Amino acid sequence: MKIPFLDIAAQQAEIADEVLPVWRAQFEAAAFVGGPEVEAFEREYAAYIGVDHCVGVGNGTDALELALRAVGVGQGDEVILPVNTFIATAEAVTHAGATPVLVDVDEEHLLIDPAAVEAAVTARTRAIIPVHLYGQTAPVEALAPIAARHGLVIVEDAAQSQGASSPAGRAGGLGRVAATSFYPGKNLGAAGDAGAVLTSDPAVADFVRNFAAHGSSVKYVHDRAGMNSRLDAVQAPVLRAKLRRLDGWNTARRAAAARYAELLGDLEGVRLPATRPGNEDVWHLYVVQLEERERVLAGLAAEGVGAAIHYPTPIHLTAAYESLGYRAGQFPVAEAAALRILSLPMFPHLSAEQQGRVAEALESCIRAAPKPGLAAPATLNGRSAKGGAIR
């Protein structure tokens, strides 16, 4: 039995009967930009998150850049973000003209560390980006007092958290503005690239709509040099159909996470993910930690089990951000985790039988004798990294 890491085809098959007639009508009308489907999705997703405005854009990276620009982030500013996020979080800061300031994460959940954020604030800091990693909700409630003390804006990166919540509300509605991605592999995924900016601030929403349409709110009248980033009309019916199923699919993910916890709970050498108190995670990814990760990953592939690493290299160790001047060892928690994290198959249609096979394969790979060439100490971009014990 081969187990895919992700099964997007199953989701597409479930919504096909709803989406194909809408697509046919759009093609017949040649209505591909804007229109009622986009407007309906924006209303529906804003209501789902609990904000007043949703502005659909071309992708999640654009959404984050637009969110930053909308709250005034620009040249000379600094923006604090976790070092273990996807590079797009840092790219959006760079594209807005500001400087990414990286901080470490907590050991248990690998989410941005509020104490590290406080220590990183300078006179140039303008915003904080909490990343709701792996389908969790980052500790925005602990960041809010820091932001208030220093006059900073919280800009959520909610690309992995559609439907996740904390006692304060849903991810995407906890700061002044949030950005999300609807890349096909997300919990709420389009049939291509798509994203959105979420806010209850009408001025922020107006700015994003204007800037994303070449700085224009009236055709051929341009208030500023903007960009071109719009949610395609053909993506909107896909997102609407999936939004109607999102809570059910997230419930299925939670059931799968609970099943993994039961199957893997006694497996020595594997550290299972934990949920922050009060959070309701949506398990975009199910990430365990273990030693000899590369050997285990190769073994799973040989057994026909899809697995992945999110993410193998912290941002400060990428060539793209060497110029920031950080050094190996500066973010010990994220660096140690980067050598151990392994994402197991996780998607709404994952069956109990498939999960049983994943658990069997993982146990087999962990207990197998190391093979030549696969048991060498792991490194990050050629740099060694140390870490504590796995429990």
Q: How confident is the model at residue 369 (pLDDT cuts 50, 70, 90)?
A: low
Q: Is the pLDDT of residue 110 over 70?
A: yes
Q: How confident is the model at residue 389 (pLDDT cuts 50, 70, 90)?
A: very low
CATH number of 247-384: 3.90.1150.10
| Token pair recorded at residue 65 | 């850049």
What residues are annotated to the active site? Answer: 186
* Nearest-angstrom CA–CA distance, 103 and 112: 7
Q: Is the pLDDT of residue 300 over 80?
A: yes
Task: Assess whether the previous peptide bond of 48 is cis (omega < 30° from 0).
Answer: no
Q: Which residues pair with 271 in a beta bridge?
A: 289
| Arithmetic mean of pLDDT, 318-337 | 98
What is the pTM for the complete model shown?
0.94
Q: Lowest mean pLDDT of 22-31, 181-190, 303-312, 364-373, name the range.
A: 364-373
Q: In the predicted model, what is the mean pLDDT of the chain?
A: 94
Which pLDDT belongs to residue 371?
A: 57
> What is the distance in angstroms between the CA of the first residue and the CA of the last residue of the chain?
30
Q: Is the pLDDT of residue 391 over 80?
A: no
pLDDT digits (tens, 9 = 90+) for 302-318: 999 999 999 999 999 99
Return the amino acid letter for 301: A
Contact partners, residue 115, CB within 8 Å, separation at least 6: none
Q: Is the pLDDT of residue 379 over 60?
A: yes
Class of domain 8-240: alpha beta
CA 353 to the chain's CA centroid:
28
Phi/psi of residue 305, each to 5°? -105, 120
pLDDT digits (tens, 9 = 90+) for 38-94: 999 999 999 999 999 999 999 999 999 999 999 999 999 999 999 999 999 999 999
| Arithmetic mean of pLDDT, 159-186 | 97
- Greatest Cα pair distance in the chain: 68
CB 290 within 8 A of CB 342: yes
Contact partners, residue 376, CB within 8 Å, separation at least 6: none
* Nearest-angstrom CA–CA distance, 41 and 246: 13
| Arithmetic mean of pLDDT, 384-391 | 34
Residues of each domain in the chain carrying CATH 3.90.1150.10: 247-384
Which pLDDT belongs to residue 219?
A: 93
Which pLDDT belongs to residue 370?
A: 72
CB 333 within 8 A of CB 106: yes
Q: Which helix (H) or strand (E) holds 390?
A: none
Burial of 265 (0-12, 13-18, 19+ CB in 10 A): exposed
Residues of each domain in the chain carrying CATH 3.40.640.10: 8-240
Which pLDDT belongs to residue 382?
A: 52
Q: Is the pLDDT of residue 322 over 70?
A: yes
Which pLDDT belongs to residue 1?
A: 83
| Arithmetic mean of pLDDT, 315-328 | 98
| Arithmetic mean of pLDDT, 102-111 | 98
pLDDT digits (tens, 9 = 90+) for 228-276: 999 999 999 999 999 999 999 999 999 999 999 999 999 999 999 999 9
CB 61 within 8 A of CB 85: no
